[in-house]
Amino acid sequence: MPYFDAASAAPLHPVAREALLASLDEGWADPARLYREGRRARLLLDAAREAAAEAVGCRPDEVVFTPSGTQAVHSGVAGALAARRRAGRRLLYSAVEHSSVLHAAEVHAAAGGSCTELAVDRGGRVAAGDVAAALSPDTALVCLQSANHEVGTEQPVEEVAALCQEAGVPLLVDAAQSLPWGPVPGGWSLLAASAHKWGGPAGVGLLAVRKGTRFAPQGPRDERESGRSPGFENIPAIVAAAASLRALRAGPETAAEAARLRKLVDRIRTRVPELVPDVEVAGDPVHRLPHLVTFSCLYVDGEALLHELDRAGFSVSSGSSCTSSTLTPSHVLRAMGVLSEGNVRVSLPYGTEGAEVERFLEVLPAVVRSVRERLGVPAAGRETAAGREPVAATAGGGPEAAAGGPVAAPAAAEEPGEPGESVEPGESTASAEPAGLVVDSLGKRCPLPVIELAKAVLEVPVGGTVTVLADDEAARQDIPAWCAMREQEYVGERPAERGAAYVVRRRA
């Protein structure tokens, strides 16, 4: 069964497996003790630190091991901010950072600090100029991932590091996704990573703090790991993590494998939109990781799509809200302004065969088509009014569902506005604009509100409006994205008694 979710956890590297088994016999003792078993464990730990430092591109005494990559990020952010409290309390980070950075920012804000989120372009990339403009005398720390975990977009770390150095502000880089493919360039100050992303065992994180970077560890601490990560080290797992990372750096095969996987991903990026109608491929097409691609399928329930792909033998992941316990769309896709429904992330592990990718491309169109058919989407995803149930309005003017169909009622047209602009209640020019429809999608999760919008838009004349009432948070993202894909005008959003009202004007 092809496993296409290396961005979540890469399969255990063969070198990691061998090192883990060997160190279970040799590295079980307390490395802080002076007896023979302790000295042996200390030697293994020191060797692992040296190997990890060489792969990262720093000194061994700058590296500490943590229980996870998330813990490394939290410790790095908290320690750097605490050490620079006198300089300022402002934290800068991109809108597409890993949730560990966002959670650390929430804690900082709750403690009285200030946070500034940097916007990204539609490819998910931060502009170095925006970072330069946001840097201020009270900036204590900048956080920027080397590459995104959902769409694979690489960030301009080297440029940002130079800007931070010039401003005298430390830069923390979350290198979890890119470290398997090479060291992070530039003069970064702190770096965090996670072993299970590169084929090491889970439960091992890495935090590097370069000499000269002010750092004050927070929380309870002890004498282990320079006081930055308390508790007994899991030496067998650390040894296995370092061994696998060193193996990836030792020979030319990593670069060759990256080039091979990039070609496979290029094929997915090219063929999926050709094979499946109404697909948006997300992420920067040039500045990206070699093994990762993300795309979203219009009119598709993400959870159903993942289940069907799993039944077909493919393990993939998704950023769709319907696959999340929070029922909110991915903050990464939201920040990029791209479609979130029917989202699929494919991240190929080392050794993925071309035949596996070809079979995925063969299976995908039928899987998407079957999910769409279950949701009542016309063939090929094309909007049509065929099969639309009759609708009726309540006496009070509110929409009421006819049996089995979306709810629609005539509505006064909305004041035109700039795309994405909020429409305030009462801004109506019904005398100048064609009448529209109201579609009641309250209580329905995406993609249903978008599907009902697609059917309703053909029932109004060109220039008319459709107002979708929805309380699913994903509608705020997916309705504007649908408009961009279908060349319709997104007028804006206004408050409603429940949820929000999203106004769309038919342009074609």
**CA atoms within 13 A of residue 60's CA, in its CB half-sphere:** 8
Catalytic annotation present for 143: no
Tell me the percentage of the chain whose pLDDT exceeds 70: 87
- Grade residue 321 by pLDDT with cuts at 50, 70 and 90: very low
- Confirm if 248 and 290 have CB atoms less than 8 A apart: no
Distance CA 450, CA 483 (A): 10
Among the listed residues 16, 7, 15, the one whose alpha carbon sits nearest the alpha carbon of residue 348 = 7
Distance CA 94, CA 143 (A): 7
- Who contacts 350 (Cβ-Cβ below 8 Å, separation ≥6)? 6, 10, 11, 13, 199, 257, 261
Distance CA 412, CA 278 (A): 30
- Burial (CB < 10 A; 0-12, 13-18, 19+), residue 220, is exposed
- Grade residue 320 by pLDDT with cuts at 50, 70 and 90: low
Q: What is the pLDDT of residues 270-313, one digit of tens each?
A: 999 999 999 999 999 999 999 999 999 999 999 899 999 999 99
User: 328 or 218: which carries more pLDDT confidence?
Assistant: 218
Cis, bond preceding 447 (omega within 30 deg of 0): yes
Distance CA 75, CA 227 (A): 11
Distance CA 190, CA 143 (A): 9
What average pLDDT does the structure give for the chain? 88
- Grade residue 417 by pLDDT with cuts at 50, 70 and 90: very low
Tell me the percentage of the chain whose pLDDT exceeds 90: 79
The mean-pLDDT minimum among 321-330, 393-402, 410-419, 489-498 falls in: 393-402
Q: Which of 164, 297, 322, 483 is catalytic?
A: 322
The mean-pLDDT minimum among 70-79, 80-89, 352-361, 426-435 falls in: 426-435
Answer yes or no: is pLDDT of 462 > 90.
yes
Element (H, E) at 143: strand 139-145
- Grade residue 484 by pLDDT with cuts at 50, 70 and 90: very high
The mean-pLDDT minimum among 139-148, 151-160, 192-201, 432-441 falls in: 432-441
Give the three-state DSSP class for 202: coil
Instruction: Give the pLDDT score at 430.
Output: 37
Distance CA 321, CA 333 (A): 10
Beta-bridge partners for 191: 173, 208
Answer yes or no: is pLDDT of 156 > 50.
yes
Answer yes or no: is pLDDT of 219 > 70.
yes
Task: Write a three-state SS string for 345-363.
Answer: EEECCCCCCHHHHHHHHHH
Instruction: Give the pLDDT score at 186.
Output: 87
Cα torsion through 447, 448, 450, 453, rounded to 10 = 170
Distance CA 326, CA 81 (A): 29
Q: pTM surpassing 0.95? A: no
Instruction: Give the pLDDT score at 100.
Output: 96
Answer yes or no: is pLDDT of 409 > 80.
no
